[in-house]
Amino acid sequence: MPEPVKAPKIGPYQLPSPAVLAPMAGVTDRPFRQLCRKMGAGLVVGEMVSSNPALRNTRKSQLRLNHHGEPAPIAVQIAGGDPQSMAEAAIFNAANGAQIIDINMGCPAKKVCNKAAGSALLKDEPLVKDIVNAVVEAVDVPVTLKIRTGWDTANRNGVKIAEIAEAAGIQSLAVHGRTRACGYTGQAEYETIKTVKQHISIPVFANGDITTARQAAEVMNFTQADGVLIGRAAQGRPWIFREINHYLATGGEELPAPSNAEVQQILLDHLNELYAFYGDFMGVRIARKHVSWYLQQQPDAKAFRSVFNRLDTDAEQIQAINKFFQEINKRDAA
């Protein structure tokens, strides 16, 4: 029997799995975080919250800052471009229950980068140093960092940023295998992540285009990363975490795909958590994108989605999901 892959520690927290749910705005809310944790994620990171204190009392921010009932460690990602406001944001979030503060220097979205935050910061190494030092010094909880490989393909300064981060006391580093200029296009490259890992001693998590358990293992083996960050591949497939854990624990055995009955139950439970968390009006609307992700591989999913997205109540949505799976079961039994 092969030795199971050991998950890393972040500060005092021993992760139960090296597969981590990446923070995704509009996706990694509390219901989704809790679901992914049940499915085997070693750590789940909340949606990015702005360092701007004026935004903290909005309904959106209040929901993002809600960690009620979540098991430790609670990880919150902050974004901003000013050392003082980032330090204050870290203090605020730690006081609000965050046990790990993650700094976002990886988001390529223009609305973030135009404010000199996210991956735009990679262009300014002295500012990166000032921000990570300010945040680490501001709080007693572990501080982690998410970056890209660099600003563009001619300026892959991920190694330099990683060395700045480690020197400042950053406890772990996640690296997306694309530059800021790449956005989410093209293929992720892992050579830079491998080089980053060779230059620092803190845990490194590889991120980008990891969509299967086999890919997770291959990327970890190639880069020697301590874990993987799973983002878009978990949308509609939260069981990817247990698949990765099983593959790593068994040295390459792939779990069978979940049955239709299990997918139906996971989806229904997820929808009910969304309704409870957001209320019926918002919950019904947020449910639509999740349903789209869950069913994207199913035949007739496109036609179903066009009908489903016009439903306005939770009861109608639940009824529609149950009917959809009844039809699938009839077709499979035929």
Residue 90: give its domain's CATH number: 3.20.20.70
Question: Do 63 and 184 share a structural domain?
Answer: yes
CB 143 within 8 A of CB 132: yes
Question: Do 80 and 126 share a structural domain?
Answer: yes
| 8-state DSSP, 9 | E
CB atoms within 10 A of CB 307: 10
Question: Do 193 and 136 share a structural domain?
Answer: yes
- Which of 36, 107, 113, 182 is an active site residue? 107
CATH number at residue 283: 1.10.1200
pLDDT, residue 4, reads: 61
CB atoms within 10 A of CB 140: 7
Residue 317 lies in a domain: yes
How big, in percent rounded to 5, are the helix, strand and coil portions of the chain? Answer: 50, 15, 40
**End residue of a domain, out of 203, 227, 250:** 250
Residue 15 lies in a domain: yes
**End residue of a domain, out of 203, 219, 250:** 250
pLDDT tens for the chain, 334 residues long, are 445 678 999 999 999 999 999 999 899 999 999 999 999 999 999 988 877 776 777 777 788 888 888 999 999 999 888 999 999 999 999 999 999 999 998 665 555 444 555 556 777 899 999 999 999 999 999 999 999 888 777 778 889 999 999 999 999 999 998 876 677 777 889 999 999 999 999 999 999 999 999 999 999 999 999 999 999 999 999 999 999 999 999 999 999 999 999 999 999 999 999 999 999 999 999 999 999 999 998 888 889 999 999 999 999 999 999 999 999 888 887 7
pLDDT, residue 88, reads: 95
Angle, CA of 215, 220 and 223, to the nearest 5°: 115
Domain hosting residue 46, numbered range: 9-250
Tally of domains within the chain: 2
Residue 120 lies in a domain: yes
Question: Do 69 and 193 share a structural domain?
Answer: yes
Question: Do 240 and 268 share a structural domain?
Answer: no
Residue 4 lies in a domain: no
Question: Do 272 and 167 share a structural domain?
Answer: no
Question: Do 221 and 79 share a structural domain?
Answer: yes
pLDDT, residue 114, reads: 47
**End residue of a domain, out of 215, 250, 285:** 250
| 8-state DSSP, 38 | H
Question: Do 296 and 177 share a structural domain?
Answer: no
Report d(CA 100, CA 102) in Å as an integer.
6
pTM of the model: 0.92
Question: Do 241 and 106 share a structural domain?
Answer: yes
Residue 1 lies in a domain: no
Question: Do 270 and 241 share a structural domain?
Answer: no
Residue 159 lies in a domain: yes
Residue 3 lies in a domain: no
Question: Do 146 and 57 share a structural domain?
Answer: yes
Active site residue 182: no
Report d(CA 119, CA 117) in Å as an integer.
6
Question: Do 322 and 198 share a structural domain?
Answer: no
